[in-house]
Amino acid sequence: MCGIVGYVGNETGAKDIILGGLKSLEYRGYDSAGIALICKGKIEVRKKVGEISNLEKIVGDPSFDSNIGIGHTRWATHGVPSDINAHPHCNSDETLSIVHNGIIENYMEIKEQLVREHDITFKSDTDSEVIAHLLGVYFDECGDLQDAVARATKRIRGTYTIVAMSSREPDKIIGVRKDTPLVAGLGKGCNFLASDIPAFLKYSGQVYFIENGELVVVTKDDIRIFDTERNEIHRDVFHVTWDVDAAEKGGYEHFMLKEIHEQPAGIEETLTRRLDDDGLVNLDGINMTKEDISKFNKIYIVACGTAYHAGLVGKYAIEKMAKITVEVDVASEFRYRDPLVDEKTLFIAISQSGETQDTLQALRLARSKGARVLSVVNVIGSSVARESDDVFYTWAGPEIAVASTKAYTTQLVCMYLIALYMAKAKGTIEDAYYRMIINELKGIPEKLNMVFSQEKEIEKIAEQFHRQNEMFFIGRGVDSAVSLEGSLKLKEISYINSFAIAAGELKHGTIALVENGTVFFALATQDGLAEKMGSNIEEIKARGAYVIAVAKEGSRLIADLADNCIFIPKCADEVTPLLTVVPLQMFAYYVAKFRGCNIDKPKNLAKSVTVE
């Protein structure tokens, strides 16, 4: 949500650098964009509702450029998407400008006070504008931007990343954060602040992660980080290993398609990092002893959206292999009930971004109750990673498309490896079975190529059904967890109303919706459940449904019953989700393409959901 870019350098050029940075953050989701520069000693703001291309149309004037500026892509929370509500916002005399990501919970009370005591007129309906005016008042009182920002953070409540600059101190931008991300980039003769690394990766791979409550002062020459008491903090620089290409489309029409095809590499990398030469799972850097593992009597896996779906597969794997009860919870629900968590609980948070507010808050709740927290995260140094006892990184590389694909499959790999490790530590797994699962995992990247070879057929099926208004996904066992992910993929990028249900549940209500031409995806990859799935397919076909099945190669029973059948290569039932999900991702992709949807940036969605 909301993307922030701040730049200070030696020479003019800030406009293009900030615009480029905002484009790299488009994946976060936004509905308006804006930029503020200090031009000849005065703050100049340009902002526009809609795509960044709309903003580009109004910033062409060459005199609108500078060596310092801030930019923003807004995802509306308070106030509709509009030019006025777009960021940056300024104080009354326009000597100060801010951009903000997050929500200021007490903005109304601050606004009333500013109107009452300072006669300030507000232009927008946003909560963020109060920050600009509050800073303006404090700056007038103390004459120092850093002090003003520090004071403002004591007055506001909520979640925020704020970046501010003032024409009265035109050599610096100042950032501060609470619960939403902020990184600083160290360039040559220039420095950056941003919501995420891709915003400045073209210029700098040297990064400082700014922690909650910290304030960072950025000039062209240095980056200085302070705690709330204004003590300077030493922070090690993090060197980014992935390059700009990894965050670009590399010849694919969309990031989503590129990321679907990057899954073999992501899976391989995640496995390589955690498998020893002798084929055993290593949890190097994770401080979980055999004793710790045998102490756990319950595991909570908590996450949102796709990451939650990965958790559901994790439950199957952990319960089957390590014989520990696993509960999988949606983070926004977990945090508002009274979950039974104590020192014997292992809490596993799964999050691609590591910044999802609900997951982060659930994690904090679990920690406060004494749970041990292990997170499965893709973004190194993110909030979830930093606040966990241990981190199991997925090595998917940067995922830019809003629809998660390679993050999901690498999260699944982590779930299997955690299950195997715990099972071995507890002695609940036979050696041969352990080795068999490891070999199956190692074989997945190769098998994915066979799935990719059916891309054309999947595209054809997508063309046939892209005008559909609704679709259903069914499965049994672990296929029922994957059906949820297939359904989410389809609805989020194609806007088709799709619904996933455990196949056995159909006849308890949902079958009432089946009529001539109703389209079903039937996932039938589990050897032991093939006949049961066959019966479910018969039941819906008898009522006129059109069935597209996903089954293992050679599964004649399912192929004969279904109208179309997409095959995955033969493999152990346990690991099928790593293969089954891919045709579903491709189907969603092509349906969305035939419908002319904005695939990488679906409407109303954001990549990183940093508000509750």
| The amino acid at 356 | T
The residue sitting closest to ligand AGP, measured at its beta carbon, is 305
Pick the catalytic residue: 111, 315, 406, 607?
607
Contacting residues for 27 by C-beta, under 8 A, at least 6 apart: 255, 400, 401, 402, 600, 601, 607
CB of 21 to ligand AGP, least distance (A): 21
Cα–Cα distance between 495 and 469 in angstroms, integer?
A: 9
What is the residue whose two structure tokens read 């009333």? Answer: 112
What is the residue whose two structure tokens read 């059904």? Answer: 465
Q: What is the DSSP letter of 483?
A: H
- The residue (of 403 and 514) whose beta carbon lies closer to ligand AGP is 403
Q: What is the DSSP letter of 183?
A: E
What is the residue whose two structure tokens read 């009522």? Answer: 543
- The residue (of 36 and 403) whose beta carbon lies closer to ligand AGP is 403
Please state, in angstroms and as integers, the Cα–Cα distance from residue 141 to each residue in 95, 137, 169, 312, following that order: 14, 6, 15, 54
CB of 246 to ligand AGP, least distance (A): 18
Question: What one-character-per-residue DSSP string does 390-405 give?
Answer: EEEE-------SSS-S
End-to-end Cα spacing for the chain: 11
Cα–Cα distance between 470 and 312 in angstroms, integer?
A: 24
Pick the catalytic residue: 2, 39, 414, 571?
2
| The amino acid at 435 | R
CB contact at 8 A, 28 and 608:
yes
CB of 402 to ligand AGP, least distance (A): 5
- The residue (of 15 and 491) whose beta carbon lies closer to ligand AGP is 491
- The residue (of 127 and 600) whose beta carbon lies closer to ligand AGP is 600
Cα–Cα distance between 275 and 444 in angstroms, integer?
A: 15
Q: What is the DSSP letter of 355?
A: -
CB of 256 to ligand AGP, least distance (A): 9
Cα 491–chain centre separation? 17
Instruction: Characterise 52 by phi-psi region: left (phi > 0), alpha (psi -120 to 50), beta (else).
Output: alpha
Cα–Cα distance between 574 and 171 in angstroms, integer?
A: 58
Structure tokens at 398: 């940067």
CB of 491 to ligand AGP, least distance (A): 10
Please say if 47 is a catalytic residue.
no
What is the residue whose two structure tokens read 């002090």? Answer: 147
Cα–Cα distance between 581 and 428 in angstroms, integer?
A: 28
CB contact at 8 A, 348 and 386:
no
Cα–Cα distance between 450 and 334 in angstroms, integer?
A: 39
- The residue (of 167 and 352) whose beta carbon lies closer to ligand AGP is 352
Residues that bind ligand AGP (CB under 6 A): 304-307, 351-353, 356, 359, 402-404, 492, 608-609
- The residue (of 308 and 520) whose beta carbon lies closer to ligand AGP is 308
CB of 13 to ligand AGP, least distance (A): 33
3-state secondary structure 316-355: HHHHHHHCCCEEEEEHHHHCCCCCCCCCCEEEEEEECCCC
For 496, other C-beta atoms within 10 Å of its C-beta total: 22
- The residue (of 3 and 136) whose beta carbon lies closer to ligand AGP is 3
CB contact at 8 A, 575 and 415:
no
- The residue (of 322 and 493) whose beta carbon lies closer to ligand AGP is 493
- The residue (of 140 and 612) whose beta carbon lies closer to ligand AGP is 612
Please say if 414 is a catalytic residue.
no
CB of 351 to ligand AGP, least distance (A): 3
CB of 306 to ligand AGP, least distance (A): 3
CB contact at 8 A, 387 and 379:
no
CB of 356 to ligand AGP, least distance (A): 3
Cα–Cα distance between 580 and 315 in angstroms, integer?
A: 17
- The residue (of 351 and 536) whose beta carbon lies closer to ligand AGP is 351
CB of 588 to ligand AGP, least distance (A): 10
| The amino acid at 446 | E
CB contact at 8 A, 198 and 23:
no
Which residues are marked as active site? 2, 607
